[in-house]
Chain A
Amino acid sequence: MSREAKIIAFCCNWCSYAAADLAGISRLQYPGSIRIIRVMCSGMVHPEMVIHALDKGADGVMIIGCHLGECHYIRGNEMALARAEVIADTLEDLGYESERFRIAWVSSAEPERLAEAFREMSARLASLRETDASPSGIGE
């Protein structure tokens, strides 16, 4: 149970991937189990890509895009937001906890915010695993 939660993070090319770059240069600390996948825009991440990641063994998936209103492609992140609501709702239907998915907005000048989002997601998944490990039916 010491394994860190594996997280797939889809980062958009223009803001959050640049932020991840800056986080690296600035030597900010965040969990090493994050796998960043660069996409051109958060709006191109189809819900099936998220489900595919979970089906293949990821513990959690994040989509990280530019702040709303600052999308390089004008409205791509609004599309991502509409899709994120669908994903969060549908995950439960497909047998996953909705906490396994998160969408966040990070500009290219906010590496600290990105690292914080990564840490927060990792902690959330760790607590999810604790509840998984406890015997079912014994609630508080």
Chain B
Amino acid sequence: MSLKPEVSKTDHIQGKKDAKIVIVEYGDYQCPYCGAAYPILKEMMKKYGKQIEFVFRNFPLSEMHQHARPAAIVAEAAALQGKFWEMHDAIYENQRFLSEPFLLELAERLWLDPHQLNTDIKKTELAAKVDADFESGVMSGVNGTPSFFVNGRKFNAGADDLLLLMSEIVK
């Protein structure tokens, strides 16, 4: 199964731009398995980030995780203030406290403009971005979270195996 659409400018990217290795994660901010994958991915990017382009796309399972979608929206709103990855990391690092008031507290800790954030989280564009990510995941064959794609192909294993693969292929 392959990734549709391909990685583009509208994606949240970290690591090396246009690297030979492109990893895309579809994640849910409230999913405990994504939470468990987070430090492993962090370690992977610390070790091999100079040769990996890493992308995060939203795949909130809203019916099961009531805070997943609000968290995705807040992270997108943080992106409008240039702090997507800071918010992404802060949410995963504090996943057990996740709630809507707590998301606003995180925004405060990251020095986001609260007024702007409050306006942005109500924008239909942000909801549409989250929906578009979800739809692209479904069409790409995402079957749960986290799901990874390496160079556009579905990687049918977890973050541990991904780290192992990178340790083998990144020179």
Chain A bound to chain B: no
What residues of chain A have their CB less than 8 Å away from a CB belonging to chain B? none
Identify the B interface with A (CB < 8 A): none
